[in-house]
Chain A
Amino acid sequence: MLKCSELVERSDALLAGELSWRQRMSFRMHLFMCRHCRRYVKQLERLLRAIPGMHGKANEAEVEQVMRRIREDDQEQHRH
């Protein structure tokens, strides 16, 4: 049977849909019997959903800085 540490190593592949039918079955058997690993997989999914937003949103000054350079570049293009 799959060990907890092995399940953790393979959980990325599971969530990416890369495991074979047989591998998914042994995964499912383990999860059925092991609440720690059930919790691990559930929380890993939550973590992965949180990563795209982990740097937060830019503030107004950062946005304005970007927009100012875009405007300057536009004007530059028009002059040439």
Chain B
Amino acid sequence: MSAIASNSTGGVAVAQLQALQAGDDAAFRELVRDHHRALTAVANSIVGQSDAEEVVQIAWIKAHQNMGRFEGRASLRTWLTRIVINESKMWLRKYKRERSLQVDIDSPQPLADRFSSGGHWSKPPAAWHNDTPDDLLMVSELADCLDHLLGDMPDQQRSLLEMRDAGGMPFDEICNELTISASNARVLLHRARSQLFKLVDHYQETGEC
């Protein structure tokens, strides 16, 4: 998994890190530019859309104050994601908002209709075009569909996807944060990924979503 985490989230260049820790304004702006929307998505999955922006703003202030303590053991994305999760939890405590995550362990596996009863592919994946991997989900035609898909996704699935696959956080830590068993978390994460897989697959095959 480290290969995934170090790709577009981490792989912190030494020069960038030194600039950040020296309090370089341009380097911090770059950091905000790269991670702000992903962090807002994490907060959104915990505190809800209306409060997500404010929580992330507070998290950025904390990150700015504590930049000198970043040790480079996790990727910057993961470090920032942890700060956002902490601030989200404090926000919920402070405003005493009980936000119980929807549990949806009974929803169907999104790829189930792609297999025959014998477990063979009845509709195998389409061949995806050879774009650069990092751009796969950034196609402008997909933007609205992706927003809808994430917006309709049950909270736990979305939190798992944002924390694990976008934030690069360790699986155990996420299970603790969400108070969910590892086996349920695996099932839910697989469902979230499968929905995205289906979205991309359909787009690659038909050119629409």
Contact = CB atoms under 8 A, between A and B. Distances in A.
Q: What interface size band does chain B fall in?
A: 35 or more
Interface in B93-140: 109, 111-112, 115, 118-121, 124-125, 127-128, 133-138
Contact of A47 (B7, B109, B197): B197
A6 B136 contact: no
Interface of B: 1, 4-5, 7-9, 25, 28-29, 32-34, 36-38, 40-41, 57, 60-61, 64, 77, 109, 111-112, 115, 118-121, 124-125, 127-128, 133-138, 146, 161, 165-168, 171, 186, 189-190, 193, 196-197, 200-201
15 contacts: A4-B119, A13-B186, A43-B201, A44-B193, A47-B200, A50-B136, A52-B5, A52-B8, A55-B37, A55-B40, A57-B34, A57-B37, A58-B37, A62-B36, A66-B36
Given A13-B186, A52-B8, 6 more contacts: A48-B165, A49-B134, A52-B165, A53-B135, A56-B138, A70-B28
A57 B193 CA distance: 21
Contact of A53 (B25, B32, B138): B138
Interface of A: 3-6, 8-9, 12-13, 15-17, 36-37, 39-40, 43-44, 46-58, 62-63, 65-67, 69-70, 73
Contacts of B8: 49, 52-53
Contact of A50 (B120, B138, B171): B138
Nearest to B63: A70
Nearest to B127: A39
A66 B133 contact: no
A66 B32 contact: yes
Contacts of A52: 4-5, 7-9, 38, 77, 165-168
A37 B121 CA distance: 8
The 3 tightest CB contacts between A and B, nearest first, are: A3-B119, A50-B136, A36-B124
Contacts, number: 131
Contacts of B120: 3-5
Nearest to B122: A4
The B interface, classified by DSSP as helix, strand, loop or mixed, is helix
Nearest to A35: B124
A18 to B, nearest CB: 9
Nearest to B56: A66
A12 B186 contact: yes
A70 B64 contact: yes
A58 B28 CA distance: 13
Contacts of A66: 32, 36, 57, 60
Nearest to A65: B57
Contacts of B133: 46, 49-50
Contacts of B32: 58, 62-63, 66-67
